[in-house]
């Protein structure tokens, strides 16, 4: 006969995500918040200038502003890195974002360079699709290549060192 009350038994049966799962979910949520904010900024700038300068120029201008702001925010807020980042980190962010720019430019060209609501909707669709790939790439590049030690659910990046192969003793 089991002496523990039913409430105690049921609390032991609940699934609790590991620290890694919680950290990944937190990064994904922060990435979505930063990316969503950058997308809103890009779409607002695009909608504001597209009628004046054309769809392609508006796309490049709005992408440029949003990419710079999002790159810094992802580095500091999404992945919680306290250093300014290496040139390589910024190049990977720029290259992955450039893929989004090229894809959005192609989509706008195929659609006849629309401005207004159609152009904005197309950019939203491209950004949403490319965002998942960017999250995976940036997460791997900024945190996955390094050892990640979890301290209070916050990733702390450290350098991976090779294990010592020297044997102690005679």
Query: Would you give per-residue pLDDT tens digits along the chain (170 residues)?
Result: 555 555 555 556 676 778 888 888 888 999 999 999 998 999 999 999 999 999 999 999 999 999 989 988 888 888 887 766 677 777 888 888 898 899 989 999 999 988 888 988 898 899 888 888 888 888 888 777 654 444 444 544 444 333 333 333 34
pLDDT (0 to 100) of residue 161:
35
Q: Contact, 105 vs 56, CB < 8 A?
A: yes
Q: Which residues does residue 151 pair with via DSSP β-bridges, in sequence order?
A: 154
Q: Which residues does residue 147 pair with via DSSP β-bridges, in sequence order?
A: 158
Model-level pTM? Answer: 0.66
**How deeply is 15 buried, as exposed, middle or buried, from its count of CB atoms within 10 A (0-12, 13-18, 19+)?**
exposed
Q: Which residues does residue 155 pair with via DSSP β-bridges, in sequence order?
A: 150
Structure tokens at 62: 């709005």
Which residue has 């300014």 as its token pair?
84
Count helices and strands (H / E) in the chain: 5, 2
Element (DSSP H or E) covering residue 169: none
DSSP 163: P
Return the domain boundaries, the chain.
Answer: 18-146
Structure tokens at 125: 């669709």
**Closest alpha carbon to 46 in 129, 132, 130, 113:** 113
Phi and psi of 147, rounded to 5°? -75, 135
């Amino acid at each position: 006969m089991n002496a523990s009350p039913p409430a105690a038994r049921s609390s032991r049966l609940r699934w609790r995500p590991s620290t890694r799962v919680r950290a990944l979910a937190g990064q994904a949520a922060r990435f979505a918040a930063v990316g969503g904010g950058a997308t809103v900024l890009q779409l607002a700038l695009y909608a504001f200038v597209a009628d004046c300068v054309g769809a392609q120029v508006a796309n490049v201008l709005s992408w440029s502003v949003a990419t710079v702001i999002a790159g810094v925010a992802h580095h500091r807020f999404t992945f919680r890195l306290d250093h300014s980042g290496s040139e390589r980190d910024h190049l990977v962010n720029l290259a992955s974002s450039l893929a989004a720019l090229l894809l959005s430019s192609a989509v706008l060209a195929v659609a006849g360079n629309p401005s207004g609501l159609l152009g904005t909707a197309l950019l939203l669709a491209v950004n949403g699709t490319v965002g998942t790939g960017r999250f995976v790439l940036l997460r791997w590049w900024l945190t996955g290549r390094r050892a990640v030690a979890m301290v209070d659910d916050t990733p702390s990046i450290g350098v991976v060192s090779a294990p010592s192969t020297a044997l102690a003793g005679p």
